Structure 1
Amino acid sequence: MIYVAAGLVLGVIAGLNLNLVYSPEYAVYISLTVLAMLNSIFNMLAENLNGGLTTVKSIVFLAGDLAFALFLGYIGEQLGLPIYLAAIFAFGNNIYKNLKIMLNYLLEKNNKKK
C-alpha cells in the first residue's frame, strides 16, 4: 500500500511540475484514456475484494476498456458525432457500481467485527 501511495504522490508532483503541452485535437482521446484507466482500477479493486483478481484479468480489464473507449472516440471523430459520450456514461456508471460494491464490502466487514 505504501508503494501505491508513494507512486500516486510522485505522479501528482511530476504532473504539476512538468510542462507538457498537447494538441487540443487529442483532448477527447486523453480524457477517454484517463477515464478508462480509472474504470479499470476500480474494476480491479472490486475484484480484489472478492478474491478473484488475477494478472490476466487485470490486463484484460485495462486493454478492453482502453480499446472500447478509443474505438468509440475514433468512430465519433470520423462521423462527427459525440459517440464517445457513450463510453463516458458507461465508465461512470461502472465506477459508481464498483464503489458501491466496495463500500458494501467494507460495511459488512465492519458489522461482523461488532
Structure 2
Amino acid sequence: MWLPILFLVIGLSLGILTDMRIPDAYSDYLSIAVLAAFDTLFGGIRAHLEKAFDETVFLTGFFFNISLAALLAFIGVQLGVDLYLAAVFAFGFRLFQNLAIIRRKLIDQKLLTKIRKK
C-alpha cells in the first residue's frame, strides 16, 4: 500500500517544484487524465484494504482509464461538445465513492482494534 502513496508524494513534489506550464489547449486533457489517475489510485487503495489488490488490474486500469478519458475529451473537442464532462462526472463519482469506502474501512479497522484491546 505504501508504493502508490510514495509515488503520489513524489509526483506532487515534482509538480510543485518545477515551473512547467501546460498550454490551455491541453488543460481539458490533463484535468481528465489527473482525475482518472486519482480514481485508479484510490481504487487501488480500496482494493488493498479489501485484500483484493492485483497489480495487473491496477496497471491496466490506470492506463485504460487515462486513455479512455483522453479519447472522450479528444472526441468532444472534435465534435465541439464538452464530452469530457461525462468523464468528469463518472470519474468524480467513482472517486468520491472509493474515498467513502476507504474511510469506512479505516474506521472499521480502528474500531476492531479498539474492541480487541478490551
TM-score band w.r.t. shorter chain: 0.7 to 0.9
Matched, 1:91 2:97: no
Is the aligned partner of 1:64 residue 2:94?
A: no
State the aligned residue count. Answer: 113
Superposed structure 1 runs of 4+ greater than 6 Å apart: none
Q: Is the 8 A contact 2:4 2:41 kept in 1?
A: no
Residue 45 of structure 1 corresponds to 45
Question: What are the superposed Cα offsets for residues 1-53 of structure 1, whole Å, 9 maximum, x if unpaired?
Answer: 49945861x44343233221332111111111111111110110111111111
Instruction: Report the residue type matching 1:43 in the other structure.
Output: G
The answer to whether the Cα contact below 8 Å between 1:43 and 1:61 also exists between their aligned partners in 2 is no
In the other structure, the counterpart of 1:108 is 108
- Structure 1 residues 56 and 101, CA, compared in 2 at 3 Å: closer, same or farther? same
| C-alpha displacement of 1:57 | 0.8
TM-score, L = length of structure 2? 0.84
Q: Using the TM superposition, give the Cα deviation of residue 64 of structure 1 relative to its aligned residue in structure 2, in angstroms.
A: 1.9
Q: Give the secondary-structure state (helix, strand or coil) at the position aligned to 1:36.
A: helix
CA drift at 1:78: 0.5
1:59 aligned partner, one-letter code? L
TM-score (normalizing by structure 1): 0.87
Structure 1 unmatched ranges of 5 or more: none
Alignment partner, residue 14 of structure 1 = 14
Match of 1:20, SS? coil
Question: What is the CA-CA distance between 1:60 and the residue it aligns to?
Answer: 1.8
1:101 deviates by 1.0
Counterparts of 1:16 and 1:105 in 2: how far apart (Å)?
31
- Identity, in percent, stands at 26
Query: Shift of residue 111 of structure 1?
Result: 2.0
